[in-house]
Amino acid sequence: ELRQAMTRLGVPNEDEAEALDARLEIDLRLGLAFSRFQTRYFRHHFGAQFSNLVKAVNYGPCQVPTLWLCVHRHCQVEDFSPKAFWRLRVALKTPEGREFPAEAACGKLWD
């Protein structure tokens, strides 16, 4: 896909570029403001317990979706139960007496 994209380069869309710049600016300002708000809130409500554990509570628009991906993957790993499978492997011998191993091209076989 990357090679195909590089062969079809065109003129950048100025509106999309400005929208991206605006999104980056909003994310930065929102992250700074909300991080400051959260830190002050937790310091005010939890006092000494909070200040001993954490210097700041950071917020970023990407953190929640990223955390969801991590938790989702963790749940998949926890819920995984292996299934029994077979591998078909044989030792073949030529009429000349030479032996060689062979294995099913499909890899694992399930019942």
DSSP line for 20-47 = HHHHHHHHHHHHHHHHHHHHHHHHHHHH
| Structural contact between residues 104 and 88, judged by C-beta atoms closer than 8 angstroms | yes
Answer yes or no: is 4 within a domain: no
pLDDT single digits (tens) 73-96 = 999 999 999 999 999 999 999 999
Q: Rounded distance, CA 29 to CA 60, Å?
A: 10
Q: Rounded distance, CA 30 to CA 32, Å?
A: 6
Answer yes or no: is 3 within a domain: no
Domain extent, residue 75, equals: 12-83
Answer yes or no: is 100 within a domain: no
pLDDT at position 25, please?
93
Question: Which pTM was predicted?
Answer: 0.48
Answer yes or no: is 91 within a domain: no
pLDDT at position 90, please?
93
Answer yes or no: is 59 within a domain: yes
Answer yes or no: is 38 within a domain: yes
pLDDT at position 101, please?
93
Answer yes or no: is 6 within a domain: no
Total domain count, the chain? 1
